[in-house]
Structure formats: C-alpha cells, structure tokens
Amino acid sequence: MGKYFWKVILNNIAESPLILKTAIEKLQANPNKIGVAGHSMGGFTASGVFTSNEKIKALTVFNGSCSWNFTNNKYAELLNIKESPLSIKEQQKIDQLDPISRIEQLKHRPILIVHGEADELVPIEGQRLFYQKISEISNPIRTRYIEYPRLNHYITTNMMEDMIRFFKEELS
C-alpha cells in the first residue's frame, strides 16, 4: 500500500482537469454545479481534487481523509514503518495539496465528511482533526460532519442519502 497509495492519488489529481473538461464538453455537465465525492482512497483523491480546483463547488468524503499527513503518520505508527516510502518530491506534493494545510482556502466551500466511527482501515482521527480545525474558522453550514456509530469501513444507504441531500442543497 505504502508504495503506490500516494502515487495513485497524486496521479488521479493530475488527471482530474482533463476529466472535468471532458465532462463539461462532451457530457454537457454544468461547470457551475460540479461536486466530487469518494470513498476511502477515493475520499483522499476527492479531497485533493477539490482542494486543488476552486471551480469544483462541493465535496463529500466517505471514510477518507482531509488530513493527509496526519493520517499518513497514523498509518506509519500502526504499521511500525520507520522510513517513508515516499520520495522528497512526492512528500512535497502531498504537503502542498494536503487539505488541512490549505484550510483557509476551503473555509467558505461546502464540504460533507461522513465516516464510520469504528473504521479499522482509515483512522477517523484525521477527519475529526480536519473538522475541528475548519469549524474554528468556518460557518458550520458550509462544513458538515457525520459520524456513524459502530460502523466500520463501509458506505451505507443512509450515507448515500446524506450525500444526495447535501449535493442537492449545494449544487441546485
């Protein structure tokens, strides 16, 4: 996981402008009503795409992280990793795009964070930290946080309904 996880995420973010352009030009997506969402690794990716592109209007993260370095350090602790598998260039890119490091730029943008409280794969503490930090500077209507008790690393129909309601409110 450590070898490819961030390479994939950074590659996804690099490819996202072309995907958005194609959605707008070929699928007639309204460029003023685009939201991104992702689960797990896709949640890391979606938060990075959202952070790096101000044209995207809303974000939903399911069981992912908006505190990349914090979560990365948690993984290193849990897996007893002493030396990072990341190159200096990759780490610099992660530092640059880490949503929590760009929180000032995100404070007025709509974000929905949904996470299972008993998630054994992506530590929930990263999302709690991000929500705490953004709540200190943001209108609570712009950033919403829902923690599902006793839920592991899954998406439920209730979570999907939360996202649908959120996107309807923010993208209509």
Superfamily of domain 5-171: Alpha/Beta hydrolase fold, catalytic domain (3.40.50.1820)
Cα-based torsion angle of the residue sequence 88, 9, 106, 145 in order, rounded to the nearest 10 degrees: -120
Please give the average per-residue pLDDT across 17-21, as a whole number: 96
Three-state SS at 171: helix
Q: State how beta strands 58-62 and 35-39 pair.
A: parallel
Instruction: State pLDDT tens for residues 89-136.
Output: 888 999 999 999 999 999 899 999 999 999 999 999 999 999 999 999
The full set of domain ranges for the chain reads 5-171
Distance CA 28, CA 169 (A): 21
Give the global pTM: 0.93
**Would you place residue 83 in the very low, low, confident or very high pLDDT band (cuts 50, 70, 90)?**
confident
Distance CA 85, CA 81 (A): 9
